Structure 1
Amino acid sequence: MNAATTSMLGQGSYSTLPPTLTGLLARWLYWPAVAALVVGALYFVFVVYTTGQVAWATGLLVLLAAGFYVYLSRGGFAWRYLFPGLAGMLIFIAFPLVYTAQIGFTNYSSTHLLGESRVREYLLEQHDAVEDQVLGYSLHARGAEYRLVLNADGDAVPRWVSPPLALRAGKDLHVDMSAADATTASGTALPLPELIRHRDALAKLVLVLPDKTELHYLGLREFGPIKPQWTANADDSLTRAADGIAFKPNRDTGFFEARKADGSVETLQPGFKAFIGVGNYARMLFDAEFRGPFLSIFTWTVMFSALTVFFATAIGMLFAVMLNWEGMKFRATYRTLLFLPYAVPGFISILVFKGLFNQNFGEINAILDALVGVKPAWFADPFLAKTMLVIVNVWLGYPYVMILCSGLLKSIPADLYEASALAGAGPATNFLKITAPLIIRPLAPLLVSAFAFNFNNFVLIALLTDGRPDFLSTKLPAGQTDILVSYTYRIAFRDSGSDFGLAAAISTLIFFLVAALSLINLRLSAKAQR
């Protein structure tokens, strides 16, 4: 047998080897597993759809369908590595951005949390008891079953009795009541603690008398008929049963409203979420009571970011140049000490400074009082509070610039300084003519990034001043040391009525400002690489 025959036999025997058990199981279970995943995904979409979230269900269906296409078809093979990243960007970046921008065009707030249909349902669910037909009840146990007995107030003789009940909490259960007899209420009625234990099950009972009157649970001692407070009309309005006044939905204000005979307008609570267009943005520009604090906060935000970057850059660059001097003794020790503010967690440093600047017990005021006899009110005076914020933020930021500049200084050729020394130039000339020009270009994109970071430096404001001291006589509470992001947080979640729509509009504005800074950063980075 020659080598070619042996090779052919070898190849043939290899190609006819039986598949392994693992391979067979994987082949048999592949499509059932895929079918199970598809069914589970469709069920999840259906559950979202049944909650009334049609848009969410549609988006989820499109995303899942794209995922199955990419990973199950040959046509989507090229997208298998890109799809997780793209899906993550859509879910965690694009969707929150679009959703926030959409809220900015609505009146969404603590008084307008629900949709119009849900508010209508809530009002139609309100009811009053028919007081003259309310009956008391008692509950009697018979083994594992119970009987509910109805009687009028002050009447010891039972009127109606239920069939045996299991008293399981679930859906509403209509119970046909029958006339009571002498043996109906045998045994002792359950005490109040037992009634409380069965309260959820009792609340689901609807007792139907022989004349078809329905009695509903009214409390731990009463059942009775109810009458709705509101009736729905064909024109989407609601009529109040007590006085017949019709309330129409005002989609500009987000309330059901009725105009009285004297010209006044009565509104119903709660309000509903409504589309108001550019109302929140117009409020920033044209509402004088809101525009004043908003423009002050915006100006302070820009100044805070710019001053922080300027002083942190100046101090960090100065220290980097000093530490670059090889003749300095204990240079490594100085570098370690100057780097410490960057090594300590920021929130710890902020809380330490909050104690140091305390007007009555802080060490800074103790030193100032001993030297010059003054104890500044750092947290009460707006100018001093802003100064304190800049000082603390510069302290936290200069080590970062110092590290960057230290690395950039190593890239400057030593020949330039030697030539400058031969020309008789001093340290100031070397810095202005050689060091600063060669450092500032590669440093510029990082400084723009630092400016954008400080533009949204929420942690410093929240921990150190909480935005205070506040502006006086403002429509919405606003602090003089608030920056836009902390002001937005206060509007959305703190002491100004949770105006989510206005907060979303401000957040959208912040996004565009930071996006503009990012574009500038990209252009500066491109120039620095040329």
Structure 2
Amino acid sequence: MDVVKKSHWWQSDVLKWSVIGLLGLLVGYLVVLMYAQGEYLFAIMTLILSSLGLYIFANRKAYAWRYVYPGMAGMGLFVLFPLVCTIAIAFTNYSSTNQLTQERAQEVLMDRQYQAGKTFNFGLYPAGDEWQLALTDGESGKNYLSDTFKFGGEQHLKLKEADAIPAGEKANLRVITQNRAALTQITAEMPDESTLTMSSLRQFSGTRPLYTVADNGELTNNQSGVKYRPNNDIGFYQSVNADGNWGNEQLSPGYTVTIGWKNFLRVFHDDGIQKPFMAIFVWTVIFSVLTVILTVAVGMILACVVQWESLKGKAIYRVMLILPYAVPSFISILIFKGLFNQSFGEINMMLSSLFGIKPAWFSDPTTARSMIIIVNTWLGYPYMMILCMGLLKAIPDDLYEASAMDGAGPFQNFFKITLPLLIKPLTPLMIASFAFNFNNFVLIQLLTNGGPDRLGTTTPAGYTDLLVSYTYRIAFEGGGGQDFGLAAAIATLIFILVGALAIVNLKATRMKFD
């Protein structure tokens, strides 16, 4: 006897396809909205991820992919998309002065005005819960009065000639200052149809647009008569000389344009960037390698010590040695910053008392780098110690017993048995530690902020800067403007370098242990 399975209403194909259709319409609307706002990368990413999701959850043959899709979508959204955006920005002139589109930059320039025509003294007079604007011509003494109005938003007030200003006390300077934002949005139209706007806390003046635009997109300064054309090579409206060549003057804000490989070429051709970049790259590699070596060495030695059977109070030592790992790193870094203070830090007080020296930890490049490595070793050894403690448990005791029968001592056991058996499983973690310290931004930012600074560089750079902190300073601390395009180019190079070094390490490891 066949059993007929009853399907619930929420399992019907009609409901399923209705929901999918609604989601499709919503996604389509969002994609069109993003595209209209000029967010092309967001629109493409949303379209791809949403289309894949709808296909996987609508097609029975793709049901197995439902368990993989969330991870793939997360990787695409939080890893691949930022990477693609960074690479895209690297090929543009995107910076603090070049953030807008050309159309928006032109709108900003066209909104600028300059003072022209007569200047009138103004006063505000209360009329119940409203106000009246009164203008006085200083030359002829004529008075002009508006209808009553309330503050708020853009307003166009028509003024009429009046025999006298209103009776009563006019608003003082404090009231005008408090309502200055609203007053700047008022346009006063005189009887001769000329318009005035607020030019100071006591005056209204005639204003005119600073620029006029021609059909070919050329801007003309109405005050000086200078002409400006959009220079798409640099992303600015630039002045044009009488002979048609480019002048030196540029109008800000600029606009974003694609400049090709110029940011990458600047890294290798501009001495003010190339020299600090190469020096910082070498220091970053040295810092990462030394950190891995020292943290593994200290962690491995301490793990062997606390695993020593004859040691009493092992549990207490373990807890004390693991404590640095339990404290948030940014707190430890700030504490060390105080300990290494040259004038008042406890470390210099001890060194001065014992040896009569006070190292300049933050102003001398060598001591500053030494301090960075010391602090990072302190922060990193507990993790390696915990790993080694677990791996030591997996080494058979028979190996040590056989070694003892052959007359081997503790040091021979360590270098002949312990070290070789620990290094192999630790190698992937050492590579991961190298990659992490290659981009250890928090340590540099909180402890030295990259200092001491290098002199004679085009971009801000310090002797303790890593590539990641150097990139941050270019992007957000540039003296000549935040250069996001150059920072993105360097970030792209960092990605390539870290990936290449990781591949080399993995291949070297395989050749060694295969």
> Which of 216, 223, 231 is the equivalent residue of 1:250?
231
1:450 and 2:433 are equivalent in the alignment:
yes
CA RMSD of aligned residues (A): 3.8
Residue of structure 1 in register with 2:171 after alignment? 191
Shift in CA distance, 137/51, structure 1 to aligned 2, threshold 3 Å: farther
Instruction: Tell me by how many angstroms 1:259 deviates.
Output: 4.8
Residue of structure 1 in register with 2:356 after alignment? 373
Letter in 1 for 2:349: A
Instruction: Tell me by how many angstroms 1:448 deviates.
Output: 0.7
1:322 and 2:305 are equivalent in the alignment:
yes
> Which of 267, 274, 280 is the equivalent residue of 1:284?
267
Shift in CA distance, 142/71, structure 1 to aligned 2, threshold 3 Å: farther
Distance 1:310 1:15 in 2: 66
Letter in 1 for 2:267: M
1:153 and 2:138 are equivalent in the alignment:
yes
Superposed CA deviations along residues 6-33 of structure 1, whole A, max 9, x for unmatched, are xx9xx99x989xx9xxx89x99999999
Distance 1:15 1:100 in 2: 53
8 Å contact 1:105–1:501 — kept in the other structure?
yes
Distance 1:189 1:33 in 2: 67
Moved more, 304-313 or 230-239: 230-239
Superposed CA deviations along residues 431-467 of structure 1, whole A, max 9, x for unmatched, are 2322222211111101111111111112222222222
Letter in 2 for 1:230: Y
> Which of 315, 319, 329 is the equivalent residue of 1:332?
315
- TM-score (normalised: structure 1): 0.82
Q: Secondary structure at the match of 1:273?
A: coil
Residue of structure 2 in register with 1:85 after alignment? 71
Large movers: runs of 4+ above 6 Å: 26-43, 72-76, 521-530
Residue of structure 1 in register with 2:340 after alignment? 357
Moved more, 189-198 or 241-250: 189-198
Residue of structure 1 in register with 2:103 after alignment? 117
Shift in CA distance, 457/155, structure 1 to aligned 2, threshold 3 Å: same
8 Å contact 2:475–2:483 — kept in the other structure?
yes
Q: Secondary structure at the match of 1:130?
A: strand
8 Å contact 1:359–1:365 — kept in the other structure?
yes
Distance 2:21 2:134 in 1: 54
Shift in CA distance, 516/153, structure 1 to aligned 2, threshold 3 Å: same
> Between the two proteins, what is the percent identity of the paired residues?
45
Distance 1:33 1:187 in 2: 69
8 Å contact 1:281–1:505 — kept in the other structure?
yes
**Equivalences for residues 463-478 of structure 1 within 5 A:** 463-478=446-461
8 Å contact 2:161–2:191 — kept in the other structure?
no
Residue of structure 1 in register with 2:424 after alignment? 441
Shift in CA distance, 78/234, structure 1 to aligned 2, threshold 3 Å: farther
Instruction: Tell me by how many angstroms 1:302 deviates.
Output: 0.4
8 Å contact 1:231–1:241 — kept in the other structure?
yes
8 Å contact 2:124–2:170 — kept in the other structure?
yes
Shift in CA distance, 153/484, structure 1 to aligned 2, threshold 3 Å: same
Q: Secondary structure at the match of 2:212?
A: strand
Distance 1:205 1:39 in 2: 44
Letter in 2 for 1:244: G
Letter in 1 for 2:337: K
1:516 and 2:500 are equivalent in the alignment:
yes
Moved more, 382-391 or 338-347: 338-347
> Which of 502, 507, 510 is the equivalent residue of 2:486?
502
Distance 1:45 1:309 in 2: 46
Shift in CA distance, 208/56, structure 1 to aligned 2, threshold 3 Å: farther
Letter in 2 for 1:512: I
> Which of 295, 305, 321 is the equivalent residue of 2:288?
305
Shift in CA distance, 335/431, structure 1 to aligned 2, threshold 3 Å: same
Letter in 1 for 2:454: F
Letter in 2 for 1:289: G
1:269 and 2:232 are equivalent in the alignment:
no
1:96 and 2:79 are equivalent in the alignment:
no
Distance 2:133 2:30 in 1: 42
Structure 2 unaligned spans of 5+: none
Distance 2:28 2:485 in 1: 33
Instruction: Tell me by how many angstroms 1:312 deviates.
Output: 1.7
Shift in CA distance, 357/15, structure 1 to aligned 2, threshold 3 Å: closer
Instruction: Tell me by how many angstroms 1:428 deviates.
Output: 3.0
Distance 2:346 2:181 in 1: 60
8 Å contact 2:120–2:205 — kept in the other structure?
yes
> Which of 359, 370, 378 is the equivalent residue of 1:387?
370
8 Å contact 1:297–1:484 — kept in the other structure?
yes
Q: Secondary structure at the match of 1:90?
A: helix
Distance 1:392 1:146 in 2: 65
Letter in 1 for 2:138: D
8 Å contact 2:211–2:222 — kept in the other structure?
yes
Shift in CA distance, 420/61, structure 1 to aligned 2, threshold 3 Å: closer
